[in-house]
Amino acid sequence: MSQHIVVIGAVALGPKAACRFKRLEPDSKVTMVDSSDLISYGGCGIPYFVSGDVSDASQLQSTSFHMVRDAKFFQNVKDIDVLTNTRALSIDRNKKTVKVQNTLDQREEDLAYDQLVLATGSRPKRLPIPGADLKGVFTVSNLDEAMAIKQGLADGEVEKAVVIGAGAIGLEMAEALADLWGIETTVIEVADQILPGMVSRNMACMAQCHLEENDVAVRLNEMVQQLEGTDRVKKVITDKGTMDADMVIMAVGVTPNSDLANKAGLEVSTHGAIVVNERMQTTDPHIYAGGDCVEVSNLLTGKPSYFPSGSLANRQGRVIGTNLAGGDAKFEGAVGTFIIKVFEISLASAGMSLKTAKAEGWDALSVFVSQFDRAHFYPEKGLMYMELIVDRKTEKVLGVQGLGSMTDAVFARVNAVAAILKYGPTTTDISNLELLYAPPFSAAMDIVNALGNTAENVLRGQNKLIDVDQFAEWWQDRAGGDAVFLDCRGWGNAKPFAEKYPDDWKSIPQDELKQRMDEVPRDKPLVLICNTGVRSYEAQLNLRQRGITDTYNLQGGMATVKKWGLNL
Amino acid sequence: MSQHIVVIGAVALGPKAACRFKRLEPDSKVTMVDSSDLISYGGCGIPYFVSGDVSDASQLQSTSFHMVRDAKFFQNVKDIDVLTNTRALSIDRNKKTVKVQNTLDQREEDLAYDQLVLATGSRPKRLPIPGADLKGVFTVSNLDEAMAIKQGLADGEVEKAVVIGAGAIGLEMAEALADLWGIETTVIEVADQILPGMVSRNMACMAQCHLEENDVAVRLNEMVQQLEGTDRVKKVITDKGTMDADMVIMAVGVTPNSDLANKAGLEVSTHGAIVVNERMQTTDPHIYAGGDCVEVSNLLTGKPSYFPSGSLANRQGRVIGTNLAGGDAKFEGAVGTFIIKVFEISLASAGMSLKTAKAEGWDALSVFVSQFDRAHFYPEKGLMYMELIVDRKTEKVLGVQGLGSMTDAVFARVNAVAAILKYGPTTTDISNLELLYAPPFSAAMDIVNALGNTAENVLRGQNKLIDVDQFAEWWQDRAGGDAVFLDCRGWGNAKPFAEKYPDDWKSIPQDELKQRMDEVPRDKPLVLICNTGVRSYEAQLNLRQRGITDTYNLQGGMATVKKWGLNL
């Protein structure tokens, strides 16, 4: 049975669904419709195109074998018709037609469909502030806009840029502007950390420190109120002051494009995303939808969630293609994952952050471990920092985060935990997670296993922790004399601090602790410190054996304090 | 309740179990016994010590904070007694004592224990051939032997070396000898591929090609029969010839050290490994064992299996430490994982190879995909090669393998699949595996997802494949004229082959196929060829639509043919 499939939107999910369907039903006809003539490109590559890492926009639109995926390509290679510069205006579900309009000559026509796919994607939010429509103010929406940004940079029009929003796209754009173009770049974020809702404050602080080392200024807790300029933007006015800027990038999130679905009477969520079942069908079984315009099940909470991601779009596209051809494929949902390159570091997460987990009602805690990414004796290695979020009651793992150098080391660990999250692992599963081991790649007791062990020790009351955030607070309040900082490293490491702060910083190396137990202050809480948190844990146990229990092991140790940019 | 724990063996599992136990029960006493005075070292680091990557043996024995883990360290830092140069002779399970002997003064004593840990490890097999005990013949057993090997190299005694056995340790040693010391190195393997039983012939061929590019000679299907020399080894005699060698490394596998357990009446398997339950208890509940001397459950077959690995040893050690202190920790088993650096490539596997899966009774097949490790438009990237082994009936995933450059890209993918193997995933779970995505780390449709998709397409009869192994055979037999090789790439890629082999190699680019359908030979099987297997799959579908069904898509494409070292 030959059928006609109409696909609205030809960037990521649309072409994937169309091609998969055609491979299964080559005798059927597919028509794709897109309002642009730039189609089927890797939108996630825009920051790398702007930076110059990707020299030409056509590379984002090419196959891995260097063919440009334009309308002609789809015609010749895939036997799929594409109507470019064509906007979908409305759907008549009874007649099973879509009214489309050519944006060049305004001509309208009705396309009849047997089954329809909505791949309408999302659009970037624009702050509703004065000056938002000035020249030089951009969002990161599509390839046309990316080319305009790059042209502005290439023309030398930009000396100072402001990025509004410190989410993933904002940070990628900030790096693109500052790194290769050498533009004085400031990121303004209304929340109290970068990547809010995505990573912990600890991780965010370390990444922010690295951004600042690379000359990107970061301003938190600040709200942009107005953009000023005559022909083009010149100033950014916030609730805290005024700043010069020749270019402003708004990266404050995206909104699903669901108007067409909404007007057609399909169910749309309160957040504006199209509602689909596991087969990616909308409330009309002849209409499928996927990608940035839908919400899917969050496999950790069981609730519908919005995960805009080119990777999910591709996989959902395949599911839709299969089902269009009479198959029964399912997209069960997602746990939510994220990875970003920030100059020379990588930062990743899967599942929930501690804050999100608490907001969702879990009695959650997080543990933090820093450790080498390879065998500690292997010459090339780097320190990694990871955090595990677990539920106290069930010991279920709710999320994981990692930060490290720009190898795939963080990617490898967070990938592995992300992969098992949907199976509901406990800390024991993380302790025993079977990761590949050889000294050039990992440690015999890998950081992931160490995370599981640490979580278990904390849950059993065996290890009592504070994190760097809390440490920073206690350290600033040290004049109050409410705590003593006990350095458990060798004298060589401890000396500079012990000499600079003789009242607050005591040095007793952990291996001398048993002999020097009478030197330990017993009247105040002790903050135990070493390089990564391993020796201070050992010291905590030594002290507990002697009845000294009001102690706090600084998780991640001085390595983390340093990465945080905290200057003692 | 204070107790006395005796631990026999102080390399990997022994110290881990001892330290974990002491952290939980600091008031109890632990005595570790080891026949050497070099203890608690990273044995997996030996090849990197021999190569010179790790300059000093003490680095293998150090903590990450540069303390050497000798008897004094365990005394001061961990409050654990160590008897070095002390051999355990026998166990009296009724009296709960171990008879030990000091190897320096031969003095014997009985150590009373409440609970005992056997961490006796394994020993390398020695071929029972004449000359095996000549000077210059080594195994890779312990740090003492490693130092002797390195001393021999440093003294300039070695110009030509032979490594017997192409398993992981053999290959790591071959690289160590050839790379930094520039020694003419030959690996001799009795099986028909390197890493037999560990990876597929395809993966093995690609890795072998890379070894040969780096001046390591590989001889397969060859059996060493004798070593010759007067004071030291000079010649290696095999069933195929004679070879000069100043040094011979035997790397033909390991045997678990279970004599002590056997003599004490504990259950030992037919393969010589100590039998333990999930709590790592032997058949005597007061005696625990773990690491290279035991077998554990294979989570894929459900059968006991032998997985000698420093990583498993560490995790089992923690389980034992917990249980010694009255806990109830479990080590459920392993799926078996493996990763190796071979000069500039990494090669990894998890679970079963196709051969092993078939031998275990599965109706298994494997699919092979080559793809970039990052977004194809991202400037720094490399081709990766992966294989998925699945059961036809249940579509269950049985194993995975990967080969790529010396980044962590292969590690990251095989890690993620390894992590879920115990949950019994199907090809659909691999198609939808939620990997982290950003262009500097991965592709929107990552190679892992593509593996799942390909497996599904093959299982549904949608994609009909041949692998490079079979292609090589058909190509060699091409004079018989039993097949035509149809190149689906652009003319620029196809030209050199089409001109060199006009009778056998036809060029029709996939995007011209519809127009040139009448040029397609219909009387012979067609081998469809492109760079990686994507366009040839598309061509296969185009041909099927026109009724041409006797076609075979070369999986992995010309990229794999080239990596294989096959010269057309």
CA A45 → CA A55, A549, B283, distances in Å?
A: 11, 52, 59
As a whole number, mean pLDDT of residues A470-490 equals: 91
> Per the CB < 8 Å rule, is A418 touching B412?
no
Could you tell me the two tokens for A442? 């990992």
Minimal Cα distance from A512: which residue of B? Answer: B76
Taking the Cβ of residue B384 and every Cβ of chain A, the question of whether any pair is shorter than 8 Å is answered with: no
pLDDT for the residue A277? 98
User: Is B44 among the residues known to form the active site?
Assistant: yes
Closest CA–CA distance from residue B478 to any residue of chain A (Å): 28
Contacts of A249 (CB under 8 A, 6+ apart): A138, A139, A140, A149, A161, A162, A163, A164, A170, A173, A177
Q: CA-CA distance, B360 to B354, in Å (whole number)? A: 10
CA dihedral B460, B464, B467, B471 (to 10 degrees): 170
Are the C-beta atoms of A342 and A210 separated by less than 8 Å?
yes
Answer yes or no: are the C-beta atoms of A468 and A399 closer than 8 Å. Answer: no
Distance CA B275, CA B272 (A): 9
Over residues A327-356, the mean pLDDT reads: 97
Q: How far B321 CA sits from the closest chain A CA (Å)?
A: 12
With residue B213 as reference, give the H or E element that holds it. helix B201-213
B398 CA: distance to closest CA in chain A (Å): 15
Contacts of B522 (CB under 8 A, 6+ apart): B548
Among B148, B158, B136, CA closest to B233: B136
From chain B, the residues in CB contact with A350 under 8 A are 434, 436
Neighboring chain A residues of B535 at a CB cutoff of 8 Å: 65
- Give the residues across from A316 on adjacent strands: none
The residue type found at B538 is E
Q: In what helix (H) or strand (E) does residue A288 lie, and over which residues does it extend?
A: strand A287-289
- Report the C-alpha gap between B313 and B291 in whole angstroms: 4
In this prediction, residues A314-325 reach a mean pLDDT of 98
pLDDT the model gives residue A125: 96
Give whole-number Cα distances, A483 to A463, A469, A555, A559, B539, in Å: 18, 15, 17, 21, 72
CA B126/CA B121 separation, integer angstroms: 16
Is residue B431 less than 8 Å (CB to CB) from chain A?
A: yes
CB contact under 8 A, B441 and A408: yes
Confidence grade of residue A305 (pLDDT, cut at 50, 70, 90) = very high
| Dihedral over alpha carbons A404, A407, A412, A418 (to 10 degrees) | 60
> Is A187 in CB contact (< 8 Å) with chain B?
no
pLDDT of B157 reads 86
Give dist(CA B536, CA B368) in Å, integer: 14
pLDDT > 70 in chain A, percent: 100
**Do A541 and B26 lie within an 8 Å CB cutoff?**
yes
Q: In this structure, are residues A322 and A329 in contact, taking their beta carbons and an 8 Å threshold?
A: yes
User: Could you state, in chain order, the average pLDDT of each consecutive group of 10 residues for chain B (568 residues)?
Assistant: 94 96 97 94 92 90 86 94 98 98 97 98 96 95 91 93 97 95 96 96 96 98 97 96 97 97 98 97 98 98 95 97 97 97 98 96 96 94 97 98 96 98 98 96 96 97 93 90 92 95 94 94 94 94 95 95 89
Separation CA B132–CA B143 (nearest Å) = 20
Could you give the C-alpha distances from B463 to A61, B201, B252, in angstroms and in order?
Answer: 26, 21, 40
Which of B77, B339, B534 has its CB closest to that of A510? B77
Distance CA B337, CA A438 (A): 10
Alpha-carbon distance A103 to A147, whole Å?
Answer: 20
Cα–Cα distance, A154 to B52 (Å, whole number): 48
The rounded mean pLDDT for chain A is: 95
Task: Please report where in the chains the tokens 């006609």 appear, as a residue.
Answer: A4
Contact across the interface for A419 and B420, Cβ inside 8 Å: yes
Question: How sure is the predictor about A566, in pLDDT bands with cuts at 50, 70 and 90?
Answer: confident
Taking the CB of residue B493, how many other CB atoms lie within 10 A of it? 18
To which H or E segment does residue B112 belong? strand B108-112
Q: Torsion angle, CA of A458/A461/A462/A466, rounded to 10 degrees? A: 50
Interface test with B, best of A292, A428, A432 (most B CBs within 10 A): A432
- Determine the Cα–Cα distance for residues B44 and B52; give it in Å rounded to an integer: 14
Give the number of other CB atoms < 10 A from CB of residue B107. Answer: 10
Which residue spans within A13-80 are E strands per DSSP? Answer: 29-33
Contact A436 B350 (CB under 8 A): yes
Q: Residues of B numbered 25-84 whose beta carbons fall under 8 angstroms of chain A's beta carbons: which are they? A: 26-27, 42, 44-45, 48, 53-54, 59-60, 62-65, 67, 73, 76-79
Nearest CA in chain B to A59: B377
A158 min Cα distance to partner chain B (Å): 25
**Directed axis angle between helix B310-324 and helix B13-24, to 10°?**
30
**Which amino acid belongs to residue B101?**
Q
Residue A489: predicted pLDDT: 95
pTM (two decimals)? 0.96
Annotated active-site residue in B44, B205, B488, B530: B44
CA–CA distance, A423 with A430 (Å, rounded to integer): 12
User: Would you call A202 helix, strand, or coil by DSSP?
Assistant: helix
Average pLDDT of the residues in A230-244: 96
Determine contact: B542 vs chain A, CB below 8 A.
Answer: yes
Q: Searching chain B, which residue's CA lies closest to the CA of residue A169?
A: B438
Could A439 and B375 be called an inter-chain contact, meaning their C-beta atoms sit closer than 8 Å? no
Q: Return the pLDDT at B108.
A: 98
One DSSP character per residue, B323-336 reads HHTT-------B--
Find the CB nearest B45 among A62, A331, A377. Answer: A377
DSSP at A214:
T
For residue B12, which residues of chain A lie inside 8 Å, CB to CB?
444
Q: Which pLDDT value is given to residue B351?
A: 98
Domains of chain A, earliest start first: 4-41+52-122+255-324 (3.50.50.60), 137-252 (3.50.50.60), 337-459 (3.50.50.60), 465-563 (3.40.250.10)
Give me B209's structure tokens.
């090609």
CB A186 within 8 A of CB A209: no
Q: Does A372 touch chain B (CB under 8 A)?
A: yes
Among A337, A489, A542, the residue with its CB nearest the CB of B434 is: A337
pLDDT of residue A556: 94
Question: Residue A193 above 90 pLDDT?
Answer: yes
Buried b (16+ CB within 10 A) or exposed e, B516-541: eeeebeeeeebbbbbbbbbbbbbbbb
What pLDDT is recorded for position B481? 78
The mean pLDDT of A326-336, rounded to a whole number, is 97
Q: Taking CB atoms and an 8 Å limit, are A415 and B435 in contact across chains?
A: yes
Output the pLDDT for position B6.
98
The C-alpha angle B545, B549, B550, rounded to 5 degrees, equals 155
* Token pair 């290695």: residue: A381
Q: Which amino acid is at A226?
A: Q
Which chain B positions have a beta carbon within 8 Å of A462's beta carbon? 23-24
A198 pLDDT band, cuts 50/70/90, is very high
Residues of A carrying an active site annotation: 44
Q: pLDDT confidence of A407, banded at 50, 70, 90?
A: very high
Alpha-carbon span B156 to B153, nearest angstrom: 5
Q: How many whole angstroms separate alpha carbon B81 and alpha carbon B19? A: 11
Q: Which of residues 508-527 of A touch B (CB under 8 A)?
A: 510-512, 514
Q: Which residue intervals of B103-167 are DSSP H helices?
A: 143-154
Q: With an 8 Å Cβ cutoff, is A431 touching chain B?
A: yes
Neighbours of B326 (CB within 10 A): 10
Which chain B residues are within 8 Å of A546, Cβ to Cβ?
none
Backbone φ and ψ of A209, nearest 5°: -55, -40
Comparing alpha-carbon positions, the chain B residue that sits nearest to A493 is: B65
Pull the structure tokens for residue B234: 């000079």
How many angstroms away from the CA of B551 is the closest CA of chain A? 16
The torsion defined by the Cα of A99, A103, A107 and A108, in degrees rounded to 10, comes to 0
Per-residue pLDDT at B64: 79
Q: What is the DSSP string of A330-361?
A: ----B--EEEEEETTEEEEEEE--HHHHHHTT
Instruction: Compute the distance between CA of residue A414 and CA of residue B549 in angstroms, rounded to an integer.
Output: 43
Of A76, A371, A375, the CB nearest to B45: A375
pLDDT bin (cut points 50, 70, 90) of residue A63 is: confident
Interface list for A 452-481 with B (CB within 8 A): 453, 462
Order of strands, sheet of A137-139, starting from the edge strand that comes earlier in the sequence: A137-139, A247-250, A160-164, A184-188, A216-219
State the sign of the Cα–Cα–Cα–Cα dihedral A560, A562, A563, A567. positive
Q: Among B391, B385, B354, which Cα is nearest to B451's?
A: B385
CA distance B77 to B394: 52
